[in-house]
Structure 1
């Protein structure tokens, strides 16, 4: 699978560059002539490019995104709960000095000094059970973080594929704009010579305006995707250029080494977290039952009063006549049942989610395989080129040419849109089965 994933990585390279020119050479930096709304989308000189693939992009994102790092801190907090739960009871030392109103001639009024040492003992195994509960919550916290990581990577990859898809749109729309400009010049020349009517020139101008509008809209959409990528990878400075490079090419699930029937819904992190928390509530029931057994406290006392020295040992234990943790036991029993229903509901939800993802992925892949077998794009390009040459030579009219151009544009747009939807479905399947990491395959 790593071999096939590397193909995807080479297809989709991520470029991030930081301006490292010294301040004294700021006047020598190339000026960006693009619209300010697209600042940070383009690059300067190639010498300052740092080339990343998709895997490296994810690695950087999970090490720099503040929200991701904040979520990761929950694991450390849960580890602290384990330490707290495993600590034994502290001993209690009490010292007392009685001297008010004491007289040497009064036997009962002599100064009195006492030292008392108390040590509670866990006779019912509360502390080991409490540690088990904390460890279970720790495991559930890890599973919850893995689920957050799954959603985080899914969102990052969705924006990655969106960038590539919009970039493909920008590229072919820009090419069409340049072609239309050449044809406009030719049409104007032919109209001035009287070979054709100026009406054809006006119609071609209107077509170019429409493509120009779509081109600008695509540029705006790509700027929005760049904004989302900046947030996800933790780079907020818009002066730092960020650009994803690559081609949106189709590779089948077989080439990626993905078996759509090889999954286990029990491995989904969110389901694992729910099951762990259900077990934690069952352990909490046992914990509350043990806490209902009072703690035994053994003590030792030393008393000095004049010439009298007394040393004694005693024990204390509360009598559980009223509070026997009845309410808390019932609470955790009901919570355990509630989480059992949540686990079943989540299991049904995951099953439906995986089924829908597989159906969509198979439908997209089947369509792309048909397109690939038919060589759809190249055949439409041949028709478009022939129509264009025929119009240039005067062997075809403008209406036929424009229809061929529109058809080719629609084919390209639909083709790349299906590839984009295919990769989105592929990532949705990976997320649904809980295998967002390449090492899982």
Structure 2
């Protein structure tokens, strides 16, 4: 048994290089994607948006039904009676007839039916565009949050690495008798906060990545997925008046409101047309024995009691309602732009204060007290306070930049345009 096992091991060792060469190597991680690439991927692959596109195709198909004209009706009749007649011994003659009839619509019913179907498709298309606008906002927000999570993880790792150096130096000072064990333990305990910050930042990055990939229609997010971009606030030359003009021209929900008014008007015209009587014209050929007969008939319903009064009244109110909805939609567009503009202005002011003053100042205070404490010229409490202030200011500066980008995305969403230069 031992000798056989030895031979097996030898065979495996000889075949191992070829097996290792044949084994597939792990695929390299995909290249980081940009914000525009993320938006394009979501627009192409998001299942909810794809479902809305199919629904639009279904609505457009109803236009084919609306275009159809009334079909003629063909009626064929034949009969043969073999019973003997009363006055003679012969049988009754055979009887055949053919009837063709067609309903002719009055009041341009087909025109208003086609216009109603076309307006319905236009409203549905605008609703699809509005759903895509909401998806783009979600992607941009998720992308920015992931960039922020990456930056926060970098800050947490930098702070943890730097603080570990402080702990190592403090251990050397403890061994040399320069500080007490209590001071060293207080420094060592502070490291738990930096480690917790690092773990939390790593978790936030994983969750932000999963949220962004979910918008792509990915059910199992890839751990190697990565993005690239900057959180440096851009300079904008757009004015609030320009933003309002853009929004009124491009907002799909506002367009849908105006198209809904056209649809209501088409439905009103169709209701009026349905109050008219539609005649039915028919022609008939008969043959009874050796006799041939041809006739024409015209049938007109008498609209004495029902002239579609209820639908006429209902659609009139629907037109008034849709007209007021357009006014409300316009007011909402302007309000959305103004609120997004004020939020962007406030976020830019905060970002400028942190980036041009507080962040650099907090960094200088931390570096000076760190150098002073390591050389025994400042107290432990002063140094720990400086560390906490720097960590807080650094994260606040990052959050201020993030808020600028989120406000930019919100303004782009409010105007339904890309305001980034």
Residues 67 and 107 from structure 1, CA distance in 2 versus in 1: closer, same or farther, beyond 3 angstroms? Answer: farther
Name the CA shift for 1:241/1:96 in 2 (closer, same or farther; >3 Å): farther
Displaced runs of 4+ in structure 1, greater than 6 A? none
Q: Which residue of 2 aligns with 1:207?
A: 190
Q: Does 1:381 align with 2:363?
A: yes
Q: 1:381-412: per-residue Cα shift (whole Å, max 9, x none)?
A: 23322222222222322222112111111111
1:67-116 deviation line (CA, Å, top 9, x unaligned): 11111223212211212111111111111122355558688942211111
Residue pair 1:154, 1:436 contacting (<8 A) in 2 also: no
| Cα 1:72–1:107 shift into 2, 3 Å | farther
Task: Verify: 1:326 aligned to 2:274, yes or no.
Answer: no
Structure 1 residues 63, 87: closer, same or farther in 2, change over 3 A? same
Q: Which residue of 2 aligns with 1:259?
A: 239
* Other-structure match for 2:64: 83
Aligned 8 A contact 1:252 1:365 in 2 = no
Look up the match of 2:37: 56
d(CA) in 1 for partners of 2:89 and 2:321? 69
Decide whether aligned partners of structure 1 residues 112 and 375 sit closer, same or farther in structure 2, where only a CA change above 3 A counts: same
| In structure 2, distance between residues paired with 1:288 and 1:100 | 49
For the pair 1:406 / 2:404, whether they are aligned, the reply is no
List per-residue Cα deviations over 1:355-406 (Å, max 9, x = no partner).
211111111112323444x354334323322222222222322222112111
Q: 1:124 aligned to 2:107? A: yes
- Extract unaligned runs of 5+ from structure 2: 1-19
**Aligned position for 1:424:** 406
Q: Partner of 1:270: helix, strand, or coil?
A: helix
What is the TM-score normalised by the length of structure 2?
Answer: 0.87
Question: Which whole-Å deviations, capped at 9, do the CAs of 1:175-227 have from their partners, x for residues lacking one?
Answer: 11111112112212211221101122222222221222222222222222222
TM-score (norm 1): 0.84
Q: In angstroms, what is the RMSD of aligned CA positions?
A: 2.4
402 and 354 in structure 1: CA distance in 2 versus 1, 3 angstrom threshold: same
Alignment CA distance shift 1:175-1:388 (3 Å): same
Residue 51 and residue 184 in structure 1: after superposition, are their counterparts in 2 closer, same or farther (change >3 A)?
Answer: closer
Contact 1:103–1:110 under 8 Å retained in 2? no
Greater shift, 236-245 or 192-201, is seen at 236-245
Distance change (3 Å), C-alpha of 1:311 and 1:88: same
| Contact 1:136–1:280, Cα closer than 8 Å, also in 2 | yes
Please, which runs of 5 or more residues in structure 1 have no aligned partner?
1-21, 30-43
Alignment CA distance shift 1:204-1:275 (3 Å):
same
d(CA) in 2 for partners of 1:107 and 1:129?
59
Retained in 1: the 8 A contact 2:126–2:252?
A: yes
